């Protein structure tokens, strides 16, 4: 079976939480639950580093505005991680050239990262922190569930990942349009109040 669906799904998941992807794949491989995981991801040092960084992200990702700073730092890291994981998976399977797998994994990681980062910036306009916590938890659970599913049902998981990616792009566009309209109306109200305080009459119509 072609490794392409698994590469695409792992890339999508890497754009959301690359450390969780490396950690989960490594654990599945080290415990013998899957033969699809390359040895490089099963090394103890890789698992330890991925585990520590996953815990750091689990905290930073739930704090408003800190999550956006974290996302900015990972704009390069997540696509690279998606490309590397994709190339390693292809090298293990042998059904897809490493370069092509890296391109697929990196591209899907970049797109899902942009959706994640853009959505978080939109959510951060809300003053309460609970939406960040809920969204981050849902992302972590989604990555864990889909990566686990992809190792045993790669094609179905790739369809789900593709659907989530398209939905995320649509939701992101809708959110930012609404936020822009809200900011324009707020700026207009502030300008009207300023003019009213200065005694300037409002223009007719």
Give percent above pLDDT 70 in the chain.
90
Q: What tens digit of pLDDT does each residue of 111-154 get?
A: 999 999 988 888 887 767 788 889 999 999 999 999 999 999 99
Residue 194 is predicted with a pLDDT of 65
Band of pLDDT at residue 196, cut at 50, 70 and 90: low
Q: What pTM does this model have?
A: 0.84
Which two tokens mark 39? 């040895």
Residue 61 near residue 95 (C-beta atoms within 8 A): no
Which two tokens mark 24? 């989960």
Q: Is residue 189 pLDDT above 70, yes or no?
A: yes
DSSP letter, residue 62: T
State mean pLDDT over 190-201: 65
Q: Is residue 198 pLDDT above 70, yes or no?
A: no
The residue among 78, 147, 62 whose CA lies nearest residue 115 is 78
DSSP letter, residue 94: -
Band of pLDDT at residue 200, cut at 50, 70 and 90: low
Contacts of 64 (CB under 8 A, 6+ apart): 123, 124, 129, 132
| Residue entry with tokens 């580093």 | 49
How many angstroms separate the CA atoms of 17 and 57, rounded? 8
Band of pLDDT at residue 16, cut at 50, 70 and 90: very high
What crossing angle do the helices spanning 130-152 and 98-123 adopt, rounded to 10°? 160
Residue length of the chain: 205
Q: Is residue 28 pLDDT above 90, yes or no?
A: yes
Give percent above pLDDT 90 in the chain.
64
Q: What's the mean per-residue pLDDT of the chain?
A: 88
How many angstroms separate the CA atoms of 143 and 12, rounded? 9
| Residue entry with tokens 């090394």 | 43
Q: Is residue 35 pLDDT above 90, yes or no?
A: no
């Amino acid at each position: 079976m072609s490794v392409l669906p698994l590469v695409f799904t792992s890339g999508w998941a890497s754009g959301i939480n690359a450390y969780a992807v490396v950690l989960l794949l490594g654990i599945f491989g080290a415990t013998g639950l899957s033969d699809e995981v390359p040895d490089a991801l099963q090394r103890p040092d890789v698992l330890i580093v991925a585990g520590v960084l996953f815990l750091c992200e689990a905290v930073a990702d739930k704090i408003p505005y800190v999550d956006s700073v974290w996302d900015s730092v990972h704009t390069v890291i997540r696509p690279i991680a998606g490309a590397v994981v994709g190339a390693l998976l292809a090298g293990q399977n042998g059904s897809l050239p490493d370069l092509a797998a890296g391109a697929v994994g990196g591209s899907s990681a970049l797109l899902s990262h942009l959706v994640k980062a853009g959505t978080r910036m939109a959510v951060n306009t809300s003053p309460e922190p609970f939406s960040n916590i809920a969204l981050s938890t849902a992302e972590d659970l989604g990555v864990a569930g889909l990566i686990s599913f992809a190792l045993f049902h790669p094609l179905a998981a790739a369809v789900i990942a593709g659907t989530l990616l398209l939905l995320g792009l649509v939701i992101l566009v809708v959110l930012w349009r609404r936020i822009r309209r809200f900011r324009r109306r707020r700026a207009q109200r502030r300008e009207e109040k300023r003019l009213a305080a200065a005694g300037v009459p409002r223009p007719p119509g």
